[in-house]
Amino acid sequence: MFKRIRQFFKDVIAEFKRVQWPTRDATIKSTSVVVCLSFAVALYLGIADLGLSDIMQMIIAG
């Protein structure tokens, strides 16, 4: 059992050595895109929520 566990971790290390890791610049650019898109979606959903909330209040108030 311990032999299989040891072999598993050796295989994991070997796979990590084969991975082509992104450069620092690519990581920063990708992270920037994700943060900007998340902010844009949050802003859109917030505005939509406020608008729909006002419509519902007008409907309920009569």
pLDDT at residue 56, as a whole number: 93
Residues 6+ apart with CB under 8 A from 22: 30
Predicted TM-score (pTM) of the model is 0.64
- pLDDT tens digits, one per residue of 2-57: 899 999 999 999 999 999 999 999 999 999 999 999 999 999 999 999 999 999 99
Q: How far is Cα 59 from Cα 62, in angstroms, rounded to an integer?
A: 5
